[in-house]
Chains A and B, each alone.
Chain A
Amino acid sequence: MTDKSVETITTKIWRETPESDNPFAAADCFCSGYDVYGDLLKNASLIDYLYLLFKLERPTSQQSALLEGLAIALANPGPRDHSVRAAMSAGVGGSTHASALIAALSVGAGNLGGAREVFHAMEYWQLCATNLQDWQQIIKNPPQEGRADVWSPMEHPPGFDPNGISCPTPVIKTLAHLVEVGQTPHLSWLQDNRQQLEEFADCPLAFSGVAAAALFDLDFLPEQAEMLYLLLRLPGAAVHALEQEKLGWRKYPFFANGFKLNP
């Protein structure tokens, strides 16, 4: 041990008291003042606790229902999704289970259908709110990212699918459900103005756009929304990776005939 004072961790999220026989184990844990193992464990839903962790306050029943609806809608993006395919690729190769989720996060982080797109869509909501003219303007003249950014520049309006033809049924159904349970202003406005916005964007609304509107209505910041979008889509990646691990690589597409090496 050194004779200098011990450095400490600063957090508003968490407070612990140590066990009487072991200073390195927690006895009581409080999340934003709530006793985690004495109160939340018995009385909170996972969604309520998730909201509390991010917002440091308990959700209203409407907020809880809205976040739960979004969580169910996002839990399994399905094997069409790039991040799920990444996890499946880990599964067929017999990679470590952690790496399947790391692969899903690495791919699902991107700004084409991934969490970074939600981040940018949240910025658009911050700038435009429910002003249709502002949306038209920002889609026409999108903001330029900084030169030192590690991300490639957005190539399409965030929240919309540049490869889409019409708005997919699950996106429409999710938007309708979230409007019904949340009764929140931006989701409702998005539902009312979806087709107009899609005309501006020249492509249909995507899950990233619905998620951004819902998380904006829940008063999340863009970086919080980006994190949640990464987290909430992991269950599907996990189970698809495990299933492909069992099935093996012979039952997974390898493009043996479809691959062409150009000169």
Chain B
Amino acid sequence: MPVHSKLEKFEDNWQTSIGGWSLEGKVVLRGKDVFTELNEKPWMEYLLYAATGKESPKIARLMEAMWVICTSFPDPRIWNNRISALAGTARSTGVLAAAGSLAVTEATIYGLKPIKGATDFLYRAEARLDPRVRV
């Protein structure tokens, strides 16, 4: 059997620098101990650190405020919310309802596609205004 150069080195091991749990009970996220170094963090700061590695109470607060007023209008007619409403009507589970809604949120007329498009525009506009910025 020939050696498969691309895949064989990954066949029986899993390497990551993001995080992991050890049999001794230690949980590490991006090099920090979750129980002793990250245990006092507010949820949004923890999420920001997990996703980006940044530690910034200011950005976390901005994200939290955006989350409250921009990202989830509580109207059951909005199409992603409608999935959860239908799941409730059909007596599905809470997690299945939320997972279905979240999956649908990568939409064209609302949700993730407009957000990505707008973010991309802002990055490109910044680059156009300041040649030192590269997109």
Complex Cα distance, B45 from A55, in Å, reads: 49
Complex Cα distance, B104 from A23, in Å, reads: 37
Tell me whether A2 and B13 are in contact (CB under 8 A): yes
Tell me whether A90 and B4 are in contact (CB under 8 A): no
Chain B residues numbered 1-49 whose CB sits less than 8 Å from any CB in chain A: 1-2, 4, 7-9, 11-13
Q: Which residue of A lies closest to B81 (CB)?
A: A89
Q: Which residue of A lies closest to B113 (CB)?
A: A94
Tell me whether B110 and A23 are in contact (CB under 8 A): no
* Residues A110 and B90 in contact in the complex (CB < 8 Å), given A99-B104, A102-B103: yes
Write out, one digit per residue, whether chain B residues 36-74 have a CB within 8 A of any chain A CB (1) or not (0): 000000000000000000000000000000000000000
* Residues A95 and B107 in contact in the complex (CB < 8 Å), given A6-B11, A109-B96, A254-B77: yes
Tell me whether A106 and B83 are in contact (CB under 8 A): yes
Query: Cβ of B89: which chain A residues have Cβ within 8 Å of it?
Result: 82, 110, 112
Tell me whether B77 and A255 are in contact (CB under 8 A): yes
Complex Cα distance, B118 from A183, in Å, reads: 61
Complex Cα distance, B95 from A112, in Å, reads: 17
Tell me whether B77 and A86 are in contact (CB under 8 A): no
Complex Cα distance, B107 from A48, in Å, reads: 37
Complex Cα distance, B86 from A20, in Å, reads: 50
* Residues A89 and B103 in contact in the complex (CB < 8 Å), given A107-B92, A111-B91: no
Select which of A6, A20, A103, A259 is within 8 A of B100 by beta carbon.
Answer: A103
Q: Considering residues A85, A105, A108, A110, which has the most beta carbons from chain B within 10 angstroms of its beta carbon? A: A110
Complex Cα distance, B87 from A102, in Å, reads: 12
Tell me whether B80 and A110 are in contact (CB under 8 A): no
Please tell me the number of chain B residues within 8 Å of chain A, measured between CB atoms.
39
Complex Cα distance, B83 from A102, in Å, reads: 10
**A148: Cβ under 8 A from any B Cβ:** no
Tell me whether A1 and B86 are in contact (CB under 8 A): no
Select which of B2, B101, B109 is within 8 A of A21 by beta carbon.
Answer: B2
**A152: Cβ under 8 A from any B Cβ:** yes
**A39: Cβ under 8 A from any B Cβ:** no
Contact residues on A (Cβ < 8 Å of other chain), bracket: 35 or more
Query: Cβ of B83: which chain A residues have Cβ within 8 Å of it?
Result: 86, 89-90, 103, 106-107
Chain A residues numbered 149-173 whose CB sits less than 8 Å from any CB in chain B: 150-152, 155
Complex Cα distance, B93 from A103, in Å, reads: 13
Q: Which residue of A lies closest to B80 (CB)?
A: A93
Query: Cβ of B86: which chain A residues have Cβ within 8 Å of it?
Result: 82-83, 85-86, 89, 107
Query: Cβ of B4: which chain A residues have Cβ within 8 Å of it?
Result: 22-24
**A132: Cβ under 8 A from any B Cβ:** no
Q: How far is the CB of A25 from chain B (nearest CB, A)?
A: 9
Complex Cα distance, B14 from A2, in Å, reads: 10
* Residues A110 and B91 in contact in the complex (CB < 8 Å), given A85-B86, A94-B108, A259-B77: yes
* 16 A-B pairs with C-beta separation under 8 A: A2-B13, A24-B4, A82-B86, A82-B90, A90-B79, A90-B83, A93-B80, A93-B107, A93-B110, A99-B103, A107-B83, A110-B90, A111-B91, A114-B91, A249-B79, A249-B109
Q: Which residues of A contact B (CB under 8 A)?
A: 1-2, 4, 6-7, 18, 20-24, 82-83, 85-86, 89-90, 92-96, 98-100, 102-103, 105-114, 116, 150-152, 155, 249, 254-255, 259
Further 8 A-B residue pairs, CB within 8 A, beyond A96-B106, A112-B89, A155-B91: A23-B4, A83-B90, A89-B80, A92-B109, A99-B100, A103-B104, A152-B91, A254-B77
